[in-house]
Amino acid sequence: MRKKPWLYSAPALLLILIVVVFPIGYTAYISLTNMNLYHWADFRVIGLSNYARALFKFDSGFLGALFTTLLWTVVNMALQLFCGFWIALGLNAKGLRLRRLYKTLLMLPWAMPAYVSILLWRVGIFNTEFGLLNQWLTALGLPKYSILDNTVTAFLACLALNLWMALPFMIATIDGALQSVDASLYESASLDGAGFFQKVRFITVPGIRAIIAPAAVMTTFITFKQFDIVYLLTQQKGYMTGANLNTVITYAYQNAFVSNNYGLSSAVSMLLFVLIILFSLATNRSLREE
Amino acid sequence: MKKAISLLLSAALALGMLAGCGQTPSSAPQSGSAAAPGSETATEPVTIKIWHDGDEAIMQTIADTVNSRLSGDNITVTFEKKTGLSDQLKLYGSDAANGPDMYFYAHDSLGTFVAMDILAPLSEVAGADVLADALPMTVEAGQIGGEQYFLPVYFETLVFLYNKALWQGDIPTTTEDLYAYMQANTDTAAGTYAVVNQHSTAYNVSPFINGFGGYILNEEGHPGLNDPKTIEGVEYNKKFAALQADGDYNTVTTLFNEGKAAAIIGGPWLVSGIRDAGIDFGVASLSDMTLPNGNPLAPYAGVQGVGVLKTGAEAHPEAIGKVLAALASPEVGVALAKSSGCAPANSKAYEDPEVAADELIVAIQKTAETAQPMPNIPEMGVLWGPAESFLVAVNKSGEDVATAAETAQQAALQAIADMQ
């Protein structure tokens, strides 16, 4: 009798097996082989030597990238939660007109393909000749400045773009959560003489915390393994800028994925996979302790 | 009853998911099978499949010309566009049933395919006469280890394109005169430039690096980013870069197309955009401009042509030999030059009066005298990155040239070591 549940869920399990588990398993297998350009069809298992080489990729440059990634994740999360919360609160203000229009407009960055958004910002905002920022600088009589050529300003540029792209999700989630807070609580708080900030602090925040926690964890991961914004703004072939900005994923890509050495790249991928699993366990635990 | 149906449906769904995993019997003749290789006769119709990742109009021109030449032999050539051809060939390069017989692509990825052992040398299917009329530089581009794997059809290289309405006087014959012109006619604050170039892309700096005798990668697969002559070329390019805006493709082409730059160093691929922008442009060969050391500028050239896959060579050696002969004919070159403005690899094609009168094609042909084919060994694939980082560090981050060269050289050596 115990077999029946397995049989019912067999199609779904099989799908997960094919789509999720198999690629990971196959990557693990490739990481143990010498598959590269010179051993394309005749590759063989060579044991753990790729891992020994891959560990050398996690050098001082990698540590720098890890630090940048952590800073990037923390700053992004703080900004997204802060801005998302206040904008969502503003959208729920009593007597606000055209509420739906604002919500639709705020969703726009999310609806746009990331690649298009990033290229639009690169050319439309940051470009030295045609970008909006430099047009302003020129109009103010200031010299042109290439924002993406300096590591610190490039980091800020990536931050601004990521905020623009990720905020809609945060606003939508917090906005949804706000609807679930019992309105009578605010009424009784008002009767007790509570002000706006007291209501926010003692009713709104505790009320929505549990609902937005999963969204926050998900966004943390997406931010941690961010690749496209940093890569397309500062590192794309033919469009490389002077900034020396790397997250763990762009660093690993630059150092292990352009060589057509699939054995080595797979070993690096597996190590990154372990790193992200550890990061997820740590985040989950800290969330549970809360 | 309901339970039985749902169980049955679950099982069917699970089985259905695996349905695609079966093996399809191969329809193409395998080597050594009963349908012996090379046994086709002139009466049997043969279709040769060529994969490409290029411009559809160019491929159509080639297909039309080749097919009309081969109609008497009962051979049909079909061109199929495959985006990301390099990756497609990695997957299907040795698949006789689903892969192509030949491929049409740029020559610089040749080494990668040869290393993967999926290509047959041209000598297996065609005589040496298919290369008899080809420009020497284009023939050289198709060789790996002394063996010819690639038949050149047309080629591209960098030329000096200028806006006739904006350029004043003659085109300088030395790079120092060019620099003086740039200094006098560039106003970075106003956003108007004399000459723009993708100054931090290795391909576009190659005229300087090669002209100074430096190299990015030599034939032995050794990177030369810290070679004193390479450093000299990069250092010399730096002063030009300072007067050439940001230097990325979009910026420089837009500057030129909007009339904010009087000239651009670029390839024939820019021409359709320039024509669309309504700019009356002139062309000069980079070979006509000399560096302070007396050498002419020597850009890289990219050669477009065909390679033969082993599976194709085993299945249809005779037909492929005829296709190669047709592709090598001057008619293909003339047709391409007239319809798409491509510079033919076949030297005889330039005898056609209409081709000989085309300013752009003649400038490219002239540049072929000093141009060097891009390295075609697999190591080149991993060198564009370190080379670009080197140029960016010098031109955009203001790093010391020698230090940046050393860093880039180490990165290049590491990248090459990682390939093994």
- How are the residues of chain B apportioned to helix, strand and coil, as percentages rounded to the nearest 5? 50, 20, 35
Query: Does B263 share its domain with B169?
Result: yes
Tell me the two tokens of residue A156.
């800020």
pLDDT in tens, A50-60: 888 888 777 77
Instruction: Give me the sign of the Cα torsion angle A33, A38, A40, A43.
Output: negative
φ and ψ at B178, to 5 degrees? -60, -45
pLDDT at B387 over 60: yes
What's the pLDDT at B346? 93
What's the pLDDT at A288? 66
What's the pLDDT at B189? 85
What's the pLDDT at B91? 86
pLDDT at B95 over 50: yes
Query: Does B277 share its domain with B392?
Result: yes
φ and ψ at B373, to 5 degrees? -65, 140
Q: Do B11 and A256 touch (CB under 8 A)?
A: no
A contacts of B384 (beta carbons < 8 Å): 237
Query: Does B183 share its domain with B110?
Result: no
Mean pLDDT of B210-237: 93
pLDDT in tens, A67-107: 999 999 999 999 999 999 999 999 988 888 888 898 888 88
What's the pLDDT at A94? 83
CATH code for the domain in which residue B240 is found: 3.40.190.10
What's the pLDDT at B200? 92
Question: How far is residue A228's CA from residue B393's CA, in Å, rounded to a whole number?
Answer: 22
Mean pLDDT of A143-151: 89
Query: Does B258 share its domain with B181?
Result: yes
pLDDT, chain A, mean: 88
pLDDT at A152 over 90: yes
The residue written with tokens 């503003």 in the block is: A90
Query: Does B116 share its domain with B222?
Result: no
What's the pLDDT at A239? 87
What residue numbers bound the domain in which B220 lies? 158-300+375-419
| DSSP labels, B224-289 | -TT-HHHHHHHHHHHHHHTTS-S--HHHHHHHHHTTSEEEEEE-GGGHHHHHHTT--EEEE-GGG-
Banded pLDDT at B40 (limits 50, 70, 90): very low
A146 has a chain B CB within 8 A of its CB: yes
Tell me the two tokens of residue B69.
């030449």
Q: Do B18 and A7 touch (CB under 8 A)?
A: no
pLDDT in tens, A102-115: 888 888 888 889 99
Contacting residues for A16 by C-beta, under 8 A, at least 6 apart: none
| DSSP labels, B90-109 | HHHTT-TTTS-SEEEEEGGG
B5: in domain: no
Count the domains in chain B. Answer: 2
CB contact residues (below 8 A), chain B span 169-188, against chain A: 188
Mean pLDDT of A262-273: 88
pLDDT at A117 over 90: yes
What's the pLDDT at B150? 94
Q: How far is CA B337 from CA B151, B157, B276, B342, B396, in A?
A: 17, 15, 19, 5, 38
Banded pLDDT at B38 (limits 50, 70, 90): very low
* C-alpha atoms less than 13 angstroms from C-alpha of B203 in its C-beta half-sphere: 22
A contacts of B254 (beta carbons < 8 Å): 129-130
B58: in domain: yes
B3: in domain: no
pLDDT in tens, B238-268: 999 999 988 889 999 999 999 999 999 999 8
Banded pLDDT at B50 (limits 50, 70, 90): very high
- Structure ipTM: 0.84
Query: Does B221 share its domain with B315?
Result: no
A108 has a chain B CB within 8 A of its CB: no
Banded pLDDT at B28 (limits 50, 70, 90): very low
B32: in domain: no
What's the pLDDT at A255? 76
Domain ranges for chain A, please list them: 68-289
Banded pLDDT at A1 (limits 50, 70, 90): low
Banded pLDDT at B2 (limits 50, 70, 90): confident
B contacts of A138 (beta carbons < 8 Å): 189
The residue written with tokens 């190659």 in the block is: B206
B15: in domain: no
Chain B: residue whose CA lies nearest to A13: B14
Q: Do A41 and B255 touch (CB under 8 A)?
A: no
Q: Do A260 and B246 touch (CB under 8 A)?
A: no
Q: Please state the length of chain B.
A: 420
Query: Does B76 share its domain with B107?
Result: yes
Query: Does B148 share its domain with B192?
Result: no
Banded pLDDT at B18 (limits 50, 70, 90): low
Banded pLDDT at B26 (limits 50, 70, 90): very low
A18 has a chain B CB within 8 A of its CB: yes
Query: Does B308 share its domain with B172?
Result: no
Q: Do A242 and B384 touch (CB under 8 A)?
A: no
A22 has a chain B CB within 8 A of its CB: no
pLDDT at B279 over 90: yes
A68-289 maps to CATH 1.10.3720.10: yes
B contacts of A55 (beta carbons < 8 Å): none
Contacting residues for B11 by C-beta, under 8 A, at least 6 apart: A7, A10
B103: in domain: yes
**Can you list the positions of beta strands (E) in B5-58?**
46-52
Query: Does B66 share its domain with B127?
Result: yes
